[in-house]
Amino acid sequence: MNKFNSDNYVHVLANEVNRSFAFKAKTVEELKDWQKAFRPKLREALGIDKIENRGSCSLEPKMLSEETLDTHIRQEWSIFSEPGFEIPFFLLLPKGQTKPAPLVLTPHGHSKLAKNIYVGIWRNEAEKAEIADGDRDIALQAVEAGYVAIAPDVRGFADLRLKEDKASDESYSDRKLQMRALMFGRTLIGERVWDIGRLIDYAKTRSEIDTGKIMITGNSGGGTVSLFAAACDERIGIAVPSSYFCTFEGSIGSIRHCECNYIPGIMTMAEMYDIAGLIAPRPFLAVNGKEDKIFPIESAKYAYKKLKEIYEVAGAGEVCKLAIGNGGHRYYKDLVWDFVKEQFE
């Protein structure tokens, strides 16, 4: 018997727990039945049903600014995501665009620069270096590849922080917002996933966007949103989470992380690779750094092995990939865009 203590309890419990939606399917039909049963339960665990229950609202899009740059047009917009709550985002349109283009959604991670970092906006040389060193201008990469990009501020950051955190210049308000969300049966991940869905609703109003071709990618916290949004919303055709895909046991449960990562009861339902299995047979590329200290590469490789088994049952093993960069916790653009181009084409 494993001795249970404060240091090892997560591993003991992970070994003991009966995960109600652990993948066991042997055929495509069994896989589809599993996904049909699991997806609404995951949305419920995220609290998305609680958001839906508040009622519908119109998007009421408002353009806040527009700038024509060398390669693209950058517009800033806001929409209502749920009744009374607006979210701002950048819309990047390729310059000279003549037909609808695929859409790339780029939720950001933990950075004081929020959505600005993904569109390449910097205020000083230090921020410019931060963006360049980690390939962090992901939306800019997308539009320069010929795609339309949407880069939102993620809840808890920038203008979506609490007033007190703006006043004290805190980078984000995740802990406080997560704890408040939990009191109402919601989670911060669920709120962020909901916002992605509303951005897709908005994208469907834009003639410049081919909403039959939608990809999502982001780094770290943006990778979290990318994975869960693609698992919950089948309109997303390609998922590329960066610096996130791993096991809950080996990362979120064992290493200190921001409170926004936690979902009550998730390990009684599924491991991370099971959740990613809801994306099958849609193309999936996990991007990880071999030196990432908070999403250990060996746990990521194990998660990928398990996910690959799900994709093989789905008959789509060839579109489930793991790409490993030589560094740490960052984006690796050279590992991403050839895969995306191949899938869109």
pLDDT value at position 330? Answer: 97
pTM: 0.97
Which amino acid appears at position 221 of this protein? Answer: G
CATH 3.10.20.30 assigned to 25-344: no
233-265 pLDDT, tens digit each? 999 999 999 999 999 999 999 999 999 999 999
Report CA-CA distances (Å) from 330 to 208, 215, 253.
30, 19, 21
Query: For tokens 């949103």, what's the residue?
Result: 225
Quick one: tokens of 176? Answer: 């406080």
Cα–Cα dist 199/81, whole Å: 8
Each residue's pLDDT tens digit, 158-175 = 999 999 999 999 999 999
Q: What's the whole-number average pLDDT of the chain? A: 97
Up-side HSE of residue 172: CA atoms within 13 Å toward CB? Answer: 22
- Domain boundaries defined on the chain: 25-344
- Residue 47, Ramachandran bin (φ over 0: left; ψ between -120 and 50: alpha; else beta): left
Q: Is 220 left (phi over 0), alpha (psi -120 to 50) or beta?
A: left
Secondary structure of 141-190 in the HEC alphabet? HHHHCCCEEEEECCCCEHHHCCHHHHHCCCCECHHHHHHHHHCCCCCHHH
CB 344 within 8 A of CB 101: no
Cβ(263)–Cβ(231) under 8 Å?
A: no
**Residues 336, 339: Cα–Cα separation, whole Å:** 6
Q: Which residues of the chain have pLDDT under 70?
A: 1-2
C-alpha 123/C-alpha 288 separation (Å) is 28
List Cβ neighbours of 266 (8 Å cut-off, separation of 6 or more).
Answer: 45, 248
Exposed, middle or buried, 154 (CB in 10 Å: 0-12/13-18/19+)? buried
CA angle (170 as vertex; 169, 171 as ends), nearest 5: 110
Which residues are 284's β-sheet partners?
Answer: 239, 320
Tell me how long the chain is: 345
Q: How far is CA 34 from the centre of its chain?
A: 22
pLDDT of 1:
59
Q: So what's the pLDDT on residue 195?
A: 98
Note if the bond before 281 is cis, omega within 30 degrees: yes
